[in-house]
Amino acid sequence: MCGIAGRYRFYSPTSQTETQSDIKKMLSVIRHRGPDESGIYLDENVGLGSVRLSIIDISSGQQPMCDSSGEYWIVYNGEIFNYPELRKEIEKKGINLKTNCDTEVVVQMYALYGSACLKHFNGQFAFCIWNPKKKELFLARDRMGIRPLFYWKDRNSFAFCSEIKGLFTLDEIGRSINVKSIAQIFTFWTTISPNTPFENIYELPAGHFMLVKPASIQIEKYWSLDFPISDNLYSGNLNDAVEEFRDLLKDAVRIRLRADVQVAAYLSGGLDSSVITSLIKEIDPGVLNTFSIGFKDKAFDESAYQFEAAKYFNTNHTAFECSSEEIAEQFSNTIWYTEFPILRTAPTPMFLLSKKVREKNIKVVMTGEGSDELLAGYDIFKEAKIRRFWANQPSSTIRPKLLAKLYPYLPNLKDGGNIGAKMFFGYKLNETSDPLYSHLLRWHNTSRIKSFFSDEIVEQLNGYQPVREISEKLPLDFSRWSKLAQSQYLEATIFMSGYLLSSQGDRMAMGNSVEGRYPFLDYRVIEFCSKLPDNFKLNCLNEKFLLKKMSAGKIPDSITKRCKQPYRAPITTTFFSANSPSSISDILSENSINSSHLFNPRKVNSLINKIKVQKHISEVDQMAVTGIVSAQLLHKMFVADRTIFTTDFPLNTRIIKKSRSDDTVLI
């Protein structure tokens, strides 16, 4: 795993010394992504750079790297898990590879197949390949967007980096908040790709590649999440599906164990991580290191299940207990790595957990992300089903009670009964024909945070509706999919790709130089699950039905049968306790709020007083205060305070210079 960066000045002659300086500045602020070594390739008006976290072929996998002809040069962040099989395919063509790493396989596959190489890759990646003869950059990102890739462009220049902060080290790139993007985040928890929170900074969307030439920049989709209509669903029975799914998932785990370093696993105490752990132990019965996070606040704690699973699988388990004070202390660090406002404190404990992993000298962890999206595990899928059931008899006093059972931790449902349910879940209850129905309620509740925007932001938004923009970007066959498939698509392509795999996934792990691997997101598993009948996934209100059938007898019964508990972390005690750091109150002060121009200081102050006085704080208010704190921190770090980007570059860097005689010089 690595961090990559590069820039291409299309027309103006630029010295290699100047380009080298630019690349070093970008790499300097993302060196947490690759602390082991670094390298830079320089050509006329082009520079590519990499910082490396050595996992495969540690001795000879240095980047930047070229193909066998020396024509193509690559910088690469990720893992292609089927690289040994692809290597054999390359060697059958009479090509001798110089290394044993997947980086060389990627660049050689591109040399052979061009952009079609992407369909051969099973992995998680973001990379850039330079073709000196065509004066062309080729950039690509994995199918689900597990690995990040950001870029900036103007008429004369192009730059890219694994993280936005790298781009901000370049003097010509301005820094300002994109108000429409903030409105999107305060609706969907993330932006609508390719947008980011900043003006003129974009991400390459998941499942896309990009060709950059002086005269044009072309972006194309090579893969997308798809669901069949009823005639093309999986034709086997449930037992057939269980066996086929088990074989696919086991192979996904097997190839993700490929590494020249130790691979560990997160063990959350839930179904997904327990299944992954059981498969790892089945494939490799040796010692497995597992890690889990618990909370001193027992309302959020799942430690009992974590210890039960660790004992059941006989793993070498490391448990970490997190307090509200620790979350508060590390929250600003979280925003430094997410580069996005967030509406939950949950990413911070994940950052602290990855720190514990790194302290054990482990670089790779296997996790269970993706199962909930593929197999309808989240409560939002059941919620949509219940709301449709309720909408058939909107005056019913019994049907809304199902929602209270679904969300026992929501105080307004617990105390308010049907009144609370109708107030919270009654939004557009009868609009069941809307293709976005499953998510309209969540997006509506989240978007209430926008009531805290300053008058200036409201004026700039001028009535902008993010939900309308989403509806205009739906796939052509979306209306023909089942209601559950529609829900799954929205959850996977927006929430999972934009938030879960980014702010809570890649960024929190790589902040401590740890790579996460996700067997459920093997594209073969994704495509298999998308073809399954709905009742194989959500059987009545029994979520992840197929996975539970598959795991019977393989994991503790208590974990299989336990109610789904969403991963959450404390919010109000984090920001408003006696031990909360002064930086929190500073960022929420009237002066700070006025300085950013993002929020209305009177409304923010009213929210703070409400939280300090009331016993039960609504989900919306908790999201609001987290969003405000994180957006304020984002503005302070990336817009107002430029000194944080002044940094040295302590790594020894391998420099490759392309001379005018076409000879490559290694310095």
Task: Give the phi and the psi of residue 159 in degrees, each rounded to 5.
Answer: -145, 150
**DSSP symbol at 317:** E
Please list, in sequence order, all residues whose beta carbon lies within 8 angstroms of the beta carbon of residue 666, skipping any fewer than 6 positions away.
Answer: 654, 655, 656
For residue 317, what are the β-bridge partners? 290
Q: In this structure, what token pair is assigned to residue 390?
A: 């309720």
End-to-end CA distance of the chain: 24
Can you tell me the distance from the alpha carbon of 82 to that of 400, in angstroms, rounded to the nearest whole number?
Answer: 48
DSSP-assigned beta bridge partners for residue 200: none
Integer Rg of the chain from CA: 25
Q: Are the C-beta atoms of residues 367 and 266 closer than 8 Å to each other?
A: yes
Which residues is 322 bridged to in the sheet?
295
265, 277 in Cβ contact below 8 A? yes
Residue at token pair 């508990």: 565
The DSSP annotation for 145-175 comes to --S--EEEE-SSEEEEESSHHHHTTSTT---
Rounded CA separation 663/648 (Å): 30
Closest alpha carbon to 475 in 207, 219, 234, 200? 207
CA distance 482 to 484: 5
Q: Which residue is listed with tokens 């309808």?
A: 376
Alpha carbon distances (Å) from 512 to 6, 73, 200, 345, 353: 23, 28, 28, 18, 9
Q: Are 163 and 101 in contact (CB under 8 A)?
A: no
Q: How far apart are CA 26 and CA 152, in angstroms?
A: 13
Contact between residue 129 and residue 110 where contact means Cβ atoms under 8 Å apart: yes
CB burial of 116-127 (b: ≥16 within 10 Å; e: otherwise) equals ebbebbbbbbbb
Catalytic position from the list 2, 66, 128, 322: 2
Closest to 111 in 3D by CA, of 57, 67, 171, 51 = 67
**Sheet (strand 216-221) strand order:** 65-66, 73-80, 123-131, 136-141, 208-213, 216-221
Give Cα separations from 660 to 81, 232, 664 (angstroms).
37, 56, 9
Give the tokens for residue 156: 């004369």
* Amino acid in position 279: L
Q: Which residues have CB under 8 Å from 625's CB, separation 6+?
A: 571, 572, 575, 607, 608, 611
Token readout for 236 is 């086997």
Which structure tokens are listed for 237?
């029975």
Q: Which residues contact 60 (CB under 8 A, 6 or more apart)?
A: 98, 99, 100, 101
- Please give the Cα distance from 244 to 12 (Å, whole number): 56
Q: Which of 205, 528, 181 lies closest to 370 in space, CA to CA?
A: 528
Catalytic residue list contains 101: no
Catalytic residue positions, numbered: 2
